[in-house]
Amino acid sequence: VTAHIFEASRAQFSERLENLALLDPLTNTGNRLAMNHYFEVELVDKINLFIMVLDLDYFKKVNDEFGHDVGDQVLVEIATILRETLNKGRVFRTGGEEFALFIPDSNQQESYQIAENIRVGLQSTAINVGAREISLTASIGLAAYRDGDSLKQAIKAADEQLYYAKKHGRNNVYFDSQQYSAKLEQVS
Protein backbone atom coordinates (compact mmCIF):
# COMPACT_ATOMS: atom_id res chain seq x y z
CA VAL A 1 0.00 0.00 0.00
CA THR A 2 2.79 2.41 0.93
CA ALA A 3 4.63 1.68 -2.31
CA HIS A 4 1.44 2.29 -4.31
CA ILE A 5 0.82 5.63 -2.57
CA PHE A 6 4.45 6.62 -3.06
CA GLU A 7 4.36 5.71 -6.77
CA ALA A 8 1.10 7.65 -7.33
CA SER A 9 2.56 10.65 -5.53
CA ARG A 10 5.78 10.42 -7.56
CA ALA A 11 3.81 10.24 -10.83
CA GLN A 12 1.76 13.32 -9.89
CA PHE A 13 4.92 15.21 -8.92
CA SER A 14 6.60 14.20 -12.19
CA GLU A 15 3.59 15.44 -14.18
CA ARG A 16 3.61 18.76 -12.31
CA LEU A 17 7.33 19.20 -13.03
CA GLU A 18 6.78 18.48 -16.71
CA ASN A 19 3.98 21.06 -16.83
CA LEU A 20 6.20 23.61 -15.12
CA ALA A 21 8.94 22.97 -17.68
CA LEU A 22 6.70 23.06 -20.76
CA LEU A 23 4.00 25.63 -20.00
CA ASP A 24 4.18 29.39 -19.99
CA PRO A 25 3.20 30.20 -16.39
CA LEU A 26 1.15 33.26 -17.36
CA THR A 27 -0.90 32.10 -20.35
CA ASN A 28 -0.82 28.34 -19.80
CA THR A 29 0.18 27.89 -23.44
CA GLY A 30 3.26 25.96 -24.44
CA ASN A 31 6.61 27.70 -24.09
CA ARG A 32 9.66 27.53 -26.38
CA LEU A 33 10.78 24.23 -24.87
CA ALA A 34 7.32 22.76 -25.49
CA MET A 35 7.38 24.11 -29.05
CA ASN A 36 10.71 22.42 -29.69
CA HIS A 37 9.47 19.16 -28.17
CA TYR A 38 6.26 19.29 -30.23
CA PHE A 39 8.16 19.96 -33.46
CA GLU A 40 10.95 17.41 -32.90
CA VAL A 41 9.13 14.59 -31.09
CA GLU A 42 5.34 14.74 -31.24
CA LEU A 43 4.83 16.06 -34.77
CA VAL A 44 5.71 12.99 -36.81
CA ASP A 45 4.21 14.13 -40.14
CA LYS A 46 5.27 17.66 -40.97
CA ILE A 47 4.35 17.52 -44.68
CA ASN A 48 1.17 19.62 -44.38
CA LEU A 49 2.31 21.78 -41.48
CA PHE A 50 1.79 25.54 -41.41
CA ILE A 51 3.41 27.83 -38.86
CA MET A 52 1.91 31.12 -37.79
CA VAL A 53 3.77 33.81 -35.83
CA LEU A 54 1.43 36.36 -34.27
CA ASP A 55 2.41 39.62 -32.62
CA LEU A 56 -0.06 41.92 -30.87
CA ASP A 57 0.09 45.37 -32.44
CA TYR A 58 1.19 48.21 -30.16
CA PHE A 59 0.89 46.04 -27.04
CA LYS A 60 3.44 48.20 -25.26
CA LYS A 61 0.75 50.91 -25.09
CA VAL A 62 -1.44 48.59 -23.01
CA ASN A 63 1.35 48.07 -20.48
CA ASP A 64 2.27 51.78 -20.49
CA GLU A 65 -1.30 53.04 -20.15
CA PHE A 66 -2.83 50.44 -17.83
CA GLY A 67 0.14 48.71 -16.19
CA HIS A 68 1.72 45.30 -16.50
CA ASP A 69 -0.94 43.58 -14.38
CA VAL A 70 -3.60 44.56 -16.90
CA GLY A 71 -1.25 43.64 -19.74
CA ASP A 72 -0.82 40.19 -18.20
CA GLN A 73 -4.59 39.76 -17.93
CA VAL A 74 -4.95 40.74 -21.58
CA LEU A 75 -2.32 38.16 -22.59
CA VAL A 76 -4.22 35.46 -20.70
CA GLU A 77 -7.42 36.41 -22.56
CA ILE A 78 -5.61 36.49 -25.90
CA ALA A 79 -4.17 33.01 -25.26
CA THR A 80 -7.67 31.74 -24.51
CA ILE A 81 -9.00 33.25 -27.75
CA LEU A 82 -6.14 31.68 -29.72
CA ARG A 83 -6.73 28.22 -28.26
CA GLU A 84 -10.48 28.46 -28.91
CA THR A 85 -10.07 29.71 -32.48
CA LEU A 86 -7.37 27.19 -33.41
CA ASN A 87 -9.52 24.09 -33.73
CA LYS A 88 -6.49 21.90 -34.43
CA GLY A 89 -2.86 22.45 -33.66
CA ARG A 90 -0.93 24.04 -30.84
CA VAL A 91 -0.37 27.50 -29.37
CA PHE A 92 2.98 28.56 -27.89
CA ARG A 93 3.96 31.85 -26.26
CA THR A 94 7.41 32.63 -27.59
CA GLY A 95 7.95 35.86 -25.67
CA GLY A 96 6.27 39.08 -24.63
CA GLU A 97 3.22 39.52 -26.82
CA GLU A 98 4.30 37.05 -29.49
CA PHE A 99 2.80 33.63 -30.09
CA ALA A 100 3.60 30.80 -32.49
CA LEU A 101 0.80 28.55 -33.68
CA PHE A 102 1.29 25.24 -35.45
CA ILE A 103 -1.42 24.01 -37.80
CA PRO A 104 -0.79 20.38 -38.83
CA ASP A 105 -2.62 18.48 -41.58
CA SER A 106 -3.67 21.65 -43.34
CA ASN A 107 -3.40 23.37 -46.70
CA GLN A 108 -2.75 26.93 -47.85
CA GLN A 109 -6.37 28.01 -48.00
CA GLU A 110 -7.37 26.45 -44.68
CA SER A 111 -4.34 27.75 -42.78
CA TYR A 112 -4.80 31.24 -44.20
CA GLN A 113 -8.48 31.15 -43.24
CA ILE A 114 -7.54 30.15 -39.68
CA ALA A 115 -5.03 33.03 -39.51
CA GLU A 116 -7.59 35.46 -40.91
CA ASN A 117 -10.25 34.22 -38.45
CA ILE A 118 -7.84 34.82 -35.60
CA ARG A 119 -6.95 38.30 -36.89
CA VAL A 120 -10.60 39.31 -37.35
CA GLY A 121 -11.60 37.70 -34.05
CA LEU A 122 -8.98 39.65 -32.13
CA GLN A 123 -9.85 42.89 -33.94
CA SER A 124 -13.54 42.54 -33.12
CA THR A 125 -13.15 41.40 -29.49
CA ALA A 126 -13.03 43.91 -26.68
CA ILE A 127 -11.25 42.41 -23.71
CA ASN A 128 -12.79 43.40 -20.39
CA VAL A 129 -10.28 43.82 -17.59
CA GLY A 130 -12.04 45.23 -14.58
CA ALA A 131 -13.77 48.42 -15.70
CA ARG A 132 -11.51 48.69 -18.76
CA GLU A 133 -12.34 47.57 -22.25
CA ILE A 134 -9.24 46.97 -24.37
CA SER A 135 -9.23 46.36 -28.11
CA LEU A 136 -6.21 45.00 -29.94
CA THR A 137 -5.17 43.95 -33.39
CA ALA A 138 -2.53 41.46 -34.46
CA SER A 139 -0.04 41.13 -37.26
CA ILE A 140 0.39 37.56 -38.44
CA GLY A 141 3.04 35.86 -40.53
CA LEU A 142 2.20 32.47 -41.98
CA ALA A 143 4.55 29.97 -43.63
CA ALA A 144 4.31 26.45 -44.96
CA TYR A 145 6.81 23.97 -43.58
CA ARG A 146 9.38 23.06 -46.19
CA ASP A 147 10.64 19.48 -46.13
CA GLY A 148 13.89 19.26 -44.20
CA ASP A 149 13.56 22.63 -42.47
CA SER A 150 14.62 22.88 -38.86
CA LEU A 151 12.33 24.50 -36.34
CA LYS A 152 14.51 27.61 -36.48
CA GLN A 153 14.14 27.81 -40.28
CA ALA A 154 10.38 27.24 -40.15
CA ILE A 155 9.88 29.94 -37.51
CA LYS A 156 12.16 32.31 -39.43
CA ALA A 157 10.03 31.90 -42.57
CA ALA A 158 6.86 32.81 -40.64
CA ASP A 159 8.68 35.61 -38.82
CA GLU A 160 9.71 37.18 -42.14
CA GLN A 161 6.06 37.27 -43.14
CA LEU A 162 5.23 38.86 -39.78
CA TYR A 163 7.76 41.56 -40.62
CA TYR A 164 5.90 42.26 -43.90
CA ALA A 165 2.57 42.41 -42.08
CA LYS A 166 3.96 44.99 -39.66
CA LYS A 167 5.70 46.93 -42.42
CA HIS A 168 2.49 47.14 -44.46
CA GLY A 169 0.20 48.66 -41.85
CA ARG A 170 -0.19 45.94 -39.20
CA ASN A 171 -3.44 44.07 -38.58
CA ASN A 172 -2.62 41.92 -41.62
CA VAL A 173 -1.91 38.31 -42.47
CA TYR A 174 1.04 37.71 -44.79
CA PHE A 175 1.80 34.33 -46.30
CA ASP A 176 4.94 33.07 -48.07
CA SER A 177 3.25 31.29 -50.92
CA GLN A 178 4.33 31.19 -54.56
CA GLN A 179 0.71 30.59 -55.59
CA TYR A 180 -0.51 33.74 -53.86
CA SER A 181 1.09 37.14 -53.79
CA ALA A 182 2.64 38.13 -50.45
CA LYS A 183 -0.70 39.32 -49.13
CA LEU A 184 -3.67 37.15 -49.94
CA GLU A 185 -6.96 38.67 -50.92
CA GLN A 186 -9.72 38.43 -48.39
CA VAL A 187 -11.14 34.94 -48.22
CA SER A 188 -14.90 34.82 -48.13
Active-site residues: which are they? 97
Whether 57 contacts 96, CB under 8 Å:
no
Under a CB-based contact definition with an 8 Å cutoff, are residues 100 and 51 in contact?
Answer: yes
8 A C-beta contact, residue 93 and residue 99:
yes
C-alpha R_g of the chain = 18
Residue 80: partners with Cβ closer than 8 Å, 6 or more residues away:
none
Quickly count: other Cβ atoms within 10 Å of residue 146's Cβ: 12
